[in-house]
Amino acid sequence: MAQSLIFEEYDLSNGLHVILHRDNSAPVVTIGVMYHVGAKDEDPTRTGFAHFFEHLLFEGTQHIARGKWFDIVSANGGHNNAFTTQDKTYYYEVFPSNNLQLGLWMESERMLHPVINEIGVSTQNSVVKEEKNQRIDNTPYGRIMYRSAINPYLFKKHPYSGTVIGKVEHLDAASLEEFIAFKKKFYNPNNAVLVVAGDFDTVPTKEWIEQYFATIPNTGDAIQRNKIEEAPITETIEVTEYDPNIQIPLKLYAYRTPAMTDKDSFTIDLLSNILTDGKSARLYKKMIDEHQTALQVLAFSDAQEDYGIYIMGALPMDGVSLETLAQEMDEEITRLQTELISEREYEKLQNQIEANFVAQNSHMEGIALSLADNYTFYKDTNLINKAIDHYRTITREDIREAARKYLDKNQRLDLNYLPSNL
C-alpha cells in the first residue's frame, strides 16, 4: 500500500485556492496553475479561445519582455509547459528549488499583467494555424486524435461537439477587445488553483504566495456553469469519414459516458485495462496474437467534467475487412456484458491499478497535476489518496454492469475511417 500523500490547502482573500505538497527528497519544485476554463466555455462563434490563450500567455507580461518567458525559465535551470482540454487550462514550471520564488512571481505575472496586444495575437494566430496544420490536417489519424471526426456525432447540443483547437475562421474574426474580455472573465484568482509540489520551506513559500498573488483582483464574477443535457443515443450512428494522410483504414466505436465524478466513470476506466492493457489483454491476445486480424488495437476512456467518451478500435492486417474487426470487437464486448471476468483477471486488474497509481504520483509534475485536478473537478483534493480505494471497491459484477449499460451498440458511433483513395 502506497504511503498517504500529505498536503496543505487554503484560500487567499481573493479566492485563489492554494495547495502545498512538501517533499524534500530532491532539490526540485513544481509550480502549477490550473484555470477552470476550457474549450467548452467558449462562445460558439469564437471557438479556439481557450487553447489560443494557452499560447498567448507565454508572449510576455508588463515585466517579462516579449519572447523572453522561455529564456528566463531555461536560464534558471527550469522547464515549463502548458496544455488545454475541453474543461481546463494548465500551466506549470519545474525549477531547482532555489528558484521557487522566481516561478511564483512568473505565474503571478501571467495572472495579473499579461500583455495582450495586436502583435502577440497575430503571432500566436499563425502559430495555432501551423499547429492545426501539422497535428490535425496533415497527420495520419489526426482527426481521430483530436476528435473532429468523433465529437460532432456524439454531441449535438453540448460544446464538446467541437475540438479544443477550434475553428481558424473564428480566431481570424476575433477582435483584440474580445481576447481582453476573455482574459477578464476567466483568468482570475477565483477561477484558479495554485499548486506547489516539491522541495521548499513552508514559511517563506507562503509569504511569497501572499506577496505575489493575494493582491491580484478578480476582474470577473465567479463563473456560472450550466450543464447542457444531451438526449440519449438510442440507435447506432453509422458514419464513414476519409483521411488523405492514411493508408490503413480504422474501425472505431465511440460511446458517450457519464461525467468524471460519476462512480461509473471509475469502472469504465477498467474496461480498457481488460481489453487492451498489455499482451495478455483480451483484444490484444485475440486480434493481434491469435487471429492476426489486427495490426493494432485501442481502448481508452476520456473522462471529462460533463460527459466522458469511451473509444475502442482496431487497424486491420492486410486483406482483413473492417467487418471482421467489428465482429471480433463485438464478441469481446458481449463477453464483458454477459460473463464475469475471471478471478485471475480481476487480481491482475487490481495490480495494474496499483502500478498506474504509483507511476502517476511518482514525480512532482504528476502529483501537482493530480492535486489541481482533484480540487477543480471533484472538490476533493484528498482524492489523490482515496482514488485507489475507489477502484478497489469495484466488483466483477460492477464491471459487467458498466459494459451492459454503456457499451450498448444502440448507443454508439460506429465509424469507418478510410483512406481518401478507397
Please give the Cα distance from 117 to 169 (Å, whole number).
Answer: 19
Is 30 within 8 Å of 196 (Cβ atoms)? yes
Give one DSSP letter per residue of 185-209, joined into a string: HHSSGGGEEEEEEES--HHHHHHHH
Please give the Cα distance from 303 to 385 (Å, whole number).
Answer: 19
What separation in angstroms does the CA of 408 have from each of 233, 255, 310, 334, 335? Answer: 10, 8, 12, 9, 12
- pLDDT for 239-264, tens place per residue? 999 999 999 999 999 999 999 999 99
The per-residue pLDDT of the chain, averaged, comes to 95
What separation in angstroms does the CA of 109 have from each of 31, 129, 205, 336? Answer: 13, 27, 17, 51
Q: Which pLDDT does position 359 carry in this prediction?
A: 86
- Is residue 417 classed as helix, strand or coil in its secondary structure? strand
Predicted TM-score (pTM) of this structure: 0.96
What is the rounded average pLDDT of the residues 19-40?
Answer: 97
What DSSP designation does 114 have? B
Q: Which pLDDT does position 1 carry in this prediction?
A: 44
Q: Which pLDDT does position 100 carry in this prediction?
A: 98
* % of the chain at pLDDT higher than 70: 99
Residue with cell 454477459: 338
- pLDDT for 162-217, tens place per residue? 999 999 999 999 999 999 999 999 999 999 999 999 999 999 999 999 999 999 99
**Domains of the chain from N-terminus onward:** 8-213 (3.30.830.10), 237-419 (3.30.830.10)
What is the rounded average pLDDT of the residues 385-408?
Answer: 95
- pLDDT for 152-162, tens place per residue? 999 999 999 99
Min mean pLDDT across 28-32, 217-221, 275-279 is at 275-279
Please give the Cα distance from 385 to 383 (Å, whole number).
Answer: 5
pLDDT for 28 beyond 80: yes
CA 121 to chain centre: 25
* % of the chain at pLDDT higher than 90: 91
pLDDT for 278 beyond 80: yes
- pLDDT for 106-141, tens place per residue? 999 999 999 999 999 999 999 999 999 988 999 999
Q: Which pLDDT does position 2 carry in this prediction?
A: 54
Q: Which pLDDT does position 422 carry in this prediction?
A: 55
Is 389 within 8 Å of 214 (Cβ atoms)? no
What separation in angstroms does the CA of 345 have from each of 7, 271, 288, 349? Answer: 34, 11, 19, 6
Supply the Cα-derived Rg of the chain in whole angstroms: 23
- pLDDT for 340-373, tens place per residue? 999 999 999 999 888 888 888 889 999 999 999 9
Q: Are strands 192-198 and 17-22 parallel, antiparallel or unpaired?
A: parallel
Sheet with 17-22: list strands edge to edge. Answer: 8-11, 17-22, 192-198, 28-35, 89-96, 79-84
